[in-house]
Amino acid sequence: MSKSDEKSKPQDYHKQGDLFSGTEGVGERKAGRTSRPSYRTELLSRLTEQRALTRGLVTKIADYGNLLKAYKAVRLNQGSGGVDGETLESYGVGLDQRIKLLQTTLTSGGYEPQAVRLVEIPKSNGGVRKLGIPTIGDRVVQQSILNELQPIYDPYFSEHSYGFRPGRSAHQAIEAASRYVQSGKVWVVDIDLASFFDEINHERLMSRLSKAISDQELLVLIRRYLKAGVMKDGLVSQRIAGTPQGGPLSPLLSNIVLDELDRELEVRGLSFARYADDCNIFVKSKRSAERVMESIIKYIEGVLKLRVNRDKSGVRRCDDVKFLGHTVEENGKIRIADGSIVRFKQKMREVTKRNRGISFPMLIKEVNLIIQGWATYYRRCNTWLGELKVLDGRIRKRLRCYALKQHQRRYPTYEYLRSLGVEERHAWNAVMYRKWWAMANYRPVTTAMGIEWFARQGLKSLAAVQRG
C-alpha cells in the first residue's frame, strides 16, 4: 500500500467520546494525515463556539419574519401537500393567522409535527425511493430551523462534502474525482449505503446534535420531527429510525451524520468525494482499495451504525464506476455514465409515445424542458460527446413519428407531407407502403423534417445546450 493511502487500523479517538466532528481542515497535516491531538483540541474549541451560537435559537426560529421567509422558500420549492390535505395555495389563504399560530405553539413548546405522507418513487434498479412529505406547516417550521442551523454547521463541514450545501454542487464533486484520477488514483472504493435516509440512528444523531446545540427546546423539537409517524394507505406507523427524504431539514441532518465519516476519511489521509450518501474513495492500487474497503465498512457499520449494501459496493477501476451519473476515464476525462444514457432514452420513449394525445408544439415544449435540464447537468462532460448527437437524432426520429401519426389517416398524412415540400410520388410512397416508424425514417421525409425544420419548431439540441 502506498504511503498516501490509509493504514486500515481501528481509530482510538472514537473511544474518547462521541463528539461532533464538524471541523474543516483541522489540525496539523503530516504526510497527508491529520494530527489527532490537534484535531481534538480544535474540535472542542469549535463545539464551544457552536453551542454559544445556538443559545435561544427557538426564539429566532419562531420569529414572525423568519417564519414568513421560510414559507416563501417552501412555496418556491413547490411540492405536494401532506397528510392534512393542505396545499401551498390553500395554506397561503389566511397566511398571517397561520404564521401567528406557528409562533404561539413554537414559543409555548406545544408544537407537534404531524405524520409525513409516504410516497414511493420507482428506481431504475427495480427498487423504490421513499419520500416522506410533511404538511406545509411542518415544512415551514423545518425550513426556519434549517435557515438558522445551516450557517452554524456548514462552515465546519468537510471540504470534500458537496451535497445539499450552499455554493456546492454535484459538478464540483465530479471535478474533484477527475483530479484524483489524473493524479494516478484510478482505483475507486465505491460505497453504497443501504437505505441511508431510512436507517439513520435517532439516538446517535440526537447525541451528536446535543454536543453542538445548547438550546434544549430545539433538540426536543428536532426529536419530535424524527419520531413523527409515517402515513401509508391511510394508516400511520411509528418511525424508530431514519429521517425520510422530502422535508427541508433532512439533508442537513444527513450531512451531520455523514460528516463523521468525512472526518474519519480525512484523518486516514484518503482522497474522496461525497455527495449526500454517495461516496467514492480514490487510491492508487487495487490492494490498497481492498484494504480501505474492508476497514471503512467496519467503521460505517460498527461506529456509525449504518448498513453498507455489499451487492452495490465494491472496488473498481474508475472507468467502471458511475458517480452522480458520470464516469471518469483513466485519463481524467469525464463522460456520461452508460446507465444515465439508458434512463434518458427510457424517459424520451415515455414522453414521445405516439398515443399521448397532446399537440405537437406542447410536446416540443415538454421535450425541451428535459433536454435543457439533462444537458445542463452533464455540461462538465468532455469526452464521448458524439453520443449527444446520436441522441439528438433519436429524439428527432421519435418526434417525426409523433407529428406524422397526428394526421391518423393516409390522405391527411399525404397532404401534410406535401405541405412540407415532399414530392408527390415520395409522399404517396410514404403513406401507402410504410407504417409510422418506417415512414418517419423514409429519406424524403427525414430530409423535409430535418434539423433545420425542427429548429423552426423550436426544438433544442442536447449537443448545443451541453456546449453552451
pLDDT per position as a tens digit, 357-409: 899 999 999 999 999 999 999 999 999 999 999 999 999 999 999 999 999 89
Only one residue has cell 464533486, namely 173
> Of 33-37, 197-201, 425-429, which has the strongest mean pLDDT?
425-429
pLDDT at 225 exceeding the cut of 80: yes
Q: Is 173 helix (H, G, I), strand (E, B) or coil?
A: helix
The mean per-residue pLDDT over the stretch 96-117 comes to 94
Bridge partners, 188 (sequence order): 282, 316
Measured CA to CA in angstroms, residue 401 lies from 123, 314, 439 at distances of 29, 43, 8
Strands 230-232 and 116-122: parallel
Q: Which of 153, 145, 147 is nearest to 255 (CA)?
A: 153
pLDDT for res 130: 79
pLDDT for res 35: 53
What long-range pairs does 303-306 form, CB within 8 A, spacing at least 24?
303/14, 303/260, 303/264, 304/201, 304/204, 304/257, 304/260, 304/261, 305/201, 305/204, 306/193, 306/194, 306/196, 306/199, 306/200, 306/201, 306/257
Maximum separation of any 2 CA atoms in the chain, in Å: 86
pLDDT at 301 exceeding the cut of 60: yes
Handedness of CA 287, 289, 290, 292 (dihedral sign): positive
What tens digit of pLDDT does each residue of 121-177 get? 777 666 777 788 999 999 999 999 999 999 999 999 999 999 999 999 999 999 999
Q: Which of 126, 143, 127 is nearest to 135 (CA)?
A: 143
Q: Which of 60, 49, 57, 62 is nearest to 215 (CA)?
A: 57
Residue 424 confidence class, pLDDT cut points 50, 70, 90? very high
- Decide: 251 and 142 in contact? Cβ < 8 Å: no
Q: Which three cell numbers stand for residue 175?
A: 471535478
pLDDT for res 30: 36
Its pTM stands at 0.84
pLDDT for res 237: 65
Measured CA to CA in angstroms, residue 265 lies from 11, 26, 272 at distances of 11, 13, 8
pLDDT for res 240: 62
Residue 239 confidence class, pLDDT cut points 50, 70, 90? low
When mean pLDDT is compared across 13-17, 193-197, 367-371, 401-405, the lowest value belongs to 13-17
In the 8-state DSSP scheme, what is residue 376?
H
Q: H/E/C letters for each residue in 95-130?
A: HHHHHHHHHHHHHHCCCCCCCEEEEEEECCCCCEEE
- Decide: 188 and 282 in contact? Cβ < 8 Å: yes
pLDDT at 13 exceeding the cut of 70: no
- Decide: 114 and 228 in contact? Cβ < 8 Å: yes
Residue 24 confidence class, pLDDT cut points 50, 70, 90? very low
- Decide: 429 and 445 in contact? Cβ < 8 Å: no
pLDDT at 27 exceeding the cut of 60: no
Tell me the percentage of the chain whose pLDDT exceeds 70: 88
- 215's CB contacts (< 8 A; 6+ apart) are 54, 55, 56, 57, 58
> Which residue type occupies 7?
K
What tens digit of pLDDT does each residue of 262-288 get? 999 999 999 999 999 999 999 999 999
Which residue stretches of 154-285 are H helix? 170-182, 196-199, 202-212, 216-227, 250-267
- Decide: 139 and 248 in contact? Cβ < 8 Å: yes
